[in-house]
């Protein structure tokens, strides 16, 4: 199936004019965004508001000898200067991270990466606060930094985290998954083994809106209100409650419009805590908004995984085993965001989409003198790294065997009848028909013709070099079942509340928080689909802890799998209540009623039916209801997902490489995604487009580089490059639909799929183009300079 429904009709015919459910409904939120009427944190101005600015360390590693704030405090516009010492007095100098480590809010003993927070100035204007930073006199004693993760565990490596008593090295954790012994046995017996070192470089999610906060401590009511950029308002509130010792009902976290999150806005940053302290100290609201360089240098980066992967296979191309070793660079504080039990996130889905007998991975995390983070940038908790690694390895195996990469994949993909499938590392994939999806992508691409064109060009020596790359990915999204997953002890179930007013208009309250994914539209569509009312009659309330039920927020593409399911369940509760009311209205037994979208009617006699709007009015009216039935139609629920959902997809990239300059042009890109039932196919395609652009960025342009002193070399968009329409081809999308069997709507998450799946397709295509040079692998980013370097000195053989 490759269905496009330009008329807004859902294939099941339920959506129609006026949009009563699923389908290509235009996004409600766009009306304000395209008119410049969004309301972002930096748009918020409270009476008497002050402005904060952060003094940051120029050193990657240095002892803090002294911080003299006298001159800054004397600045006429400055209202407070906060240092590590001030915070120590409040027991707030260190804060817990999402990985059960601690992180300095403001440095007290040492600075551990360039850009680390040292002091916070609160002043009457933003400019005055910035000016006053220059008046602070800090005495540093420089220490040798650890920049290369591969040297972090050397005996003579300086110990970064000597704040922890007795620590003698930079080791954070060792973690493994799979059966090592079984895997070694399979490798011992294997006919063919290939091994490859693969780096997934440090990159940055770089949302257009940087991080920020307006903190307002009301001394009279004792209530703290923070307007902030957060993907997880309720989780932030609980963390603030634990850190500051304030009760939760005295904290309100409001997340207004957010200009992109991409995992950058999951954690709590020192600037947030400083702004809150600033408001407590001055008794006035304090705004802190970071600038672009601060965002790129200090907030949650992504990846930095040094991987070594091996595949064991038979001569005829049957993959039997996978063995992986990873060195994970977590920066100076272990602040990665993922469910507690999984220090390497969901990296252990690295067996990908294949039927593999045995697999094992061992991950070691280390500290370096770089900013903390690691889980961000549409990664689905490190599935980006896993998918990239296995898809690179399969191509290395194809090269070794002289096999076609599409055929090799087809040969090893899980077959439809194998689902639900238990992987060698402990996942239970819910549903899939992988060969069908790969075939769809190959058909759209015209794979055989592309290969023929490539062969012809190679034969004729016709430039530029053409490459074709394939990737097939499986994701695990929708964290997660409470018994397996929590973050800082908070379980990952989501609440939902639905109110239906007397005239049949509805208000849905959810805990997930859109950063551009279109939740105000798509969650309204879910309610409309379940209740048969117009999408426009459903208002979605989110991003305010005072107005929404508890839930863990938006990341790991969990909104549709968890809160989307909660929404369907709560709407069905309302529909069932409506059935009882309709029974009373129609003087029939509720069991004898039948639902057709929008109305309950006596079975076999649809003309007698009552609409949802009529039922809502009656439910609030004087109609006599059966004994024990309350009036109104409101309902609440908490959804604890039974499993994750497993979206998947097949991508084909076609590139042209100029060997003289090393420049790569993405000529075509075909993406066939299967995220189960699509609530809004247009929104899904938008998500895929964005993720494919991410893939072009990471594969060809992006890396957070450092020099050997730990100086950050990419602190602006002049150096850290974002892909634009110029670098991206016109995406060619297809779809298959394999519903999730355990999700009430059959939907799976999709928000990160394309970011996860696309880098491998592009890199595989570039390596394929460079085959005449005998190239088997090249690390991202494949910038012109890097590609040029890879082919230097290599003989060209067709």
The footprint of ligand MCN (CB under 6 A) covers 207, 260-263, 378, 515-519, 522, 554-560, 675-680, 683-684, 687, 690, 747-752
Name the H helices within 259-367: 270-282, 292-298
262 binds ligand CUM (CB under 6 A): yes
240 binds ligand CUM (CB under 6 A): no
Task: Enumerate residues 6+ apart whose C-beta is below 8 A from 70.
Answer: none
In the complex with ligand CUM, the residue whose CB is nearer, 375 or 770, is: 375
**Segment 376 to 395, residues that bind ligand CUM, using CB under 6 A:** 376-380
The Cα–Cα gap between 566 and 497 comes to 9
Report in angstroms how near the CB of residue 326 gets to ligand CUM at its nearest. 17
Site track 172-211 with ligand CUM (rule: CB under 6 A), x = hit: ----------------------------------------
The Cα–Cα gap between 581 and 595 comes to 13
In the complex with ligand CUM, the residue whose CB is nearer, 278 or 516, is: 516
The Cα–Cα gap between 730 and 668 comes to 7
Report in angstroms how near the CB of residue 476 gets to ligand CUM at its nearest. 12
Report in angstroms how near the CB of residue 285 gets to ligand MCN at its nearest. 26
Extract the tokens encoding 461: 């020596």
Q: If contact means CB under 5 to 8 A according to the sort of partner, which of ligand CUM, ligand MCN, none does residue 375 touch?
A: ligand CUM
Please write down the long-range contacts of 28-31, taking CB distance under 8 Å and 24 or more positions apart. 28/520, 28/521, 28/524, 28/535, 28/536, 29/257, 29/514, 29/518, 29/520, 29/521
Cβ atoms 798, 772 nearer than 8 A:
yes
Q: If contact means CB under 5 to 8 A according to the sort of partner, which of ligand MCN, ligand CUM, none does residue 750 touch?
A: ligand MCN
Mapping DSSP to helix (H, G, I), strand (E, B) and coil, where does residue 130 land? helix
In the complex with ligand MCN, the residue whose CB is nearer, 69 or 99, is: 99
Distance of alpha carbon 517 from the chain centroid? 11
Q: If contact means CB under 5 to 8 A according to the sort of partner, which of ligand MCN, ligand CUM, none does residue 567 touch?
A: none
> For residues 487-506, b (16+ Cβ closer than 10 Å) or e, as one string?
bbebbbbbbbbbbbbeebbb
Candidate segments 193-201, 374-382, 605-613, 619-627, binder of ligand CUM by CB under 6 A: 374-382
Cα maximum dimension of the chain: 88
552 binds ligand CUM (CB under 6 A): no
- Crossing angle of helices 519-531 and 565-586, in 10° steps, is 30
In the complex with ligand CUM, the residue whose CB is nearer, 347 or 377, is: 377
701 binds ligand CUM (CB under 6 A): no
Report in angstroms how near the CB of residue 691 gets to ligand CUM at its nearest. 11
The Cα–Cα gap between 569 and 637 comes to 7
The Cα–Cα gap between 45 and 126 comes to 13
Extract the tokens encoding 137: 């006199």
**Segment 216 to 235, residues that bind ligand CUM, using CB under 6 A:** 231
Q: If contact means CB under 5 to 8 A according to the sort of partner, which of ligand CUM, ligand MCN, none does residue 492 touch?
A: none
335 binds ligand CUM (CB under 6 A): no
556 binds ligand CUM (CB under 6 A): yes
The Cα–Cα gap between 76 and 79 comes to 8
Q: If contact means CB under 5 to 8 A according to the sort of partner, which of ligand MCN, ligand CUM, none does residue 714 touch?
A: none
In the complex with ligand MCN, the residue whose CB is nearer, 106 or 510, is: 510
Q: If contact means CB under 5 to 8 A according to the sort of partner, which of ligand CUM, ligand MCN, none does residue 747 touch?
A: ligand MCN
Extract the tokens encoding 635: 């309902």
Report in angstroms how near the CB of residue 200 gets to ligand CUM at its nearest. 13
Phi and psi angles of residue 401, each rounded to the nearest 5 degrees, phi first? -90, -10
In the complex with ligand MCN, the residue whose CB is nearer, 464 or 690, is: 690
The residues of the shown chain that bind ligand CUM, judged by CB under 6 A, are 231, 261-263, 266, 375-380, 555-556, 752
């Amino acid at each position: 199936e490759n269905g496009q429904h330009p008329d807004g009709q859902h294939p099941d015919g339920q959506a129609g004019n006026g949009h009563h459910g699923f389908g290509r409904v235009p996004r409600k939120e766009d009306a304000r965004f395209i008119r410049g009427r969004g309301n972002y944190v930096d748009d918020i101005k409270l009476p008497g508001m002050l402005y904060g600015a952060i003094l940051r360390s120029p050193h990657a590693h240095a002892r803090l000898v002294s911080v003299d704030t006298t001159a800054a405090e004397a600045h006429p516009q400055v209202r407070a200067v906060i240092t590590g010492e001030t915070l120590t007095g409040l027991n707030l100098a260190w804060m817990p991270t999402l990985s059960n480590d601690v992180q300095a809010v403001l440095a007290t003993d040492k600075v551990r990466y360039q850009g680390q927070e040292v002091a916070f100035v609160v002043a009457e204007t933003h400019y005055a606060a910035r000016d006053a930073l220059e008046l602070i006199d800090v005495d540093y004693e420089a220490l040798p930094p650890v920049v290369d993760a591969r040297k972090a565990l050397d005996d003579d490596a300086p110990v970064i985290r000597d704040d922890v008593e007795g620590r003698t090295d930079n080791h954070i954790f060792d973690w493994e998954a799979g059966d090592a012994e079984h895997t070694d046995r399979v490798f011992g017996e294997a006919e063919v083994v290939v091994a490859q070192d693969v780096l997934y470089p440090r990159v940055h999610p770089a949302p257009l809106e940087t991080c920020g906060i307006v903190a307002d401590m009301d001394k009279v009511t004792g209530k703290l209100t923070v307007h902030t950029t957060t993907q997880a308002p309720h989780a932030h509130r609980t963390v603030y409650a634990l850190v500051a010792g304030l009760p939760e009902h005295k904290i309100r976290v409001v997340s207004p419009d957010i200009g992109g999150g991409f995992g950058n806005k999951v954690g709590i940053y020192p600037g947030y805590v400083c702004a809150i302290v600033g408001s407590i100290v001055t008794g006035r609201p304090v705004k802190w908004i970071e600038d672009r360089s601060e965002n790129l240098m200090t907030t949650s980066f992504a990846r930095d995984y040094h991987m070594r992967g091996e595949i064991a296979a038979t001569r005829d191309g049957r993959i039997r085993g996978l063995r992986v070793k990873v060195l994970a660079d977590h920066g100076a504080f272990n602040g990665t965001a993922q469910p507690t039990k999984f220090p390497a996130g969901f990296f252990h889905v690295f067996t990908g989409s294949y039927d593999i007998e045995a697999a094992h991975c061992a991950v070691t995390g280390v500290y370096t003198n770089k900013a903390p983070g690691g889980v961000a940038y549409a990664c689905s908790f490190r599935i980006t790294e896993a998918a990239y690694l296995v898809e690179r390895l399969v191509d290395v195996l194809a090269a070794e065997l002289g096999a076609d990469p599409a055929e090799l994949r087809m040969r090893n993909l899980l077959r439809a009848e194998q689902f639900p499938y238990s992987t060698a590392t402990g996942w239970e994939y819910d549903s899939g028909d992988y060969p069908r999806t790969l075939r769809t992508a190959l058909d759209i691409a015209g794979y055989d013709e592309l290969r023929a064109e490539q062969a012809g060009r190679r034969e004729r020596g016709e430039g530029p070099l053409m490459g074709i790359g394939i990737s097939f990915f499986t994701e695990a999204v929708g964290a997660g079942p409470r018994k397996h997953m929590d973050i800082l002890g908070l379980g990952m179930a989501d609440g939902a509340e639905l109110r239906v007013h007397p005239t049949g208009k509805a208000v849905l309250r959810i805990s997930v928080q859109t950063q551009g994914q279109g939740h105000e539209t798509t969650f309204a569509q879910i309610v409309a689909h379940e209740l048969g009312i117009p999408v426009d009659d459903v208002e979605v309330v989110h991003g305010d802890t005072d107005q929404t039920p508890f839930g863990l927020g938006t990341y790991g593409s969990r909104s549709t799998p968890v809160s989307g399911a909660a929404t369907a369940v709560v709407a069905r509760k309302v529909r069932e209540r409506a059935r009882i009311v309709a029974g009373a209205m129609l003087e029939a037994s509720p069991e004898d009623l039948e639902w057709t979208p929008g109305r309950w009617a006596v079975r076999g006699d649809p003309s007698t039916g009552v609409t949802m709007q009529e039922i809502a009015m009656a439910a609030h009216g004087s109609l006599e209801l059966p004994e024990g039935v309350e009036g109104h139609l409101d309902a609440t629920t908490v959804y604890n997902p039974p499993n994750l959902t497993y979206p998947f997809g097949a991508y084909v990239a076609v590139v042209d490489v100029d060997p003289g300059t090393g420049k790569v042009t993405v000529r075509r890109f075909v993406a066939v995604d299967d995220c189960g039932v699509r609530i809004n196919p247009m929104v899904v395609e938008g998500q895929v487009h964005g993720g494919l652009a991410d893939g072009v960025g990471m594969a060809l342009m992006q890396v957070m580089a450092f020099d050997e002193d730990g100086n950050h070399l990419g602190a602006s968009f002049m150096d850290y490059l974002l892909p634009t329409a110029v670098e991206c081809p016109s995406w060619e999308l297809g779809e298959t639909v394999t519903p999730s069997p355990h999700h009430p709507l059959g939907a799976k998450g999709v928000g990160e799929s394309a970011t996860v799946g696309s880098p491998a397709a592009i890199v595989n295509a570039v390596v394929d183009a460079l085959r005449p040079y005998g190239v088997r692998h090249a690390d991202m980013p494949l910038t012109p300079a890097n590609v040029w370097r890879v082919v230097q000195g290599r003989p060209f053989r067709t």
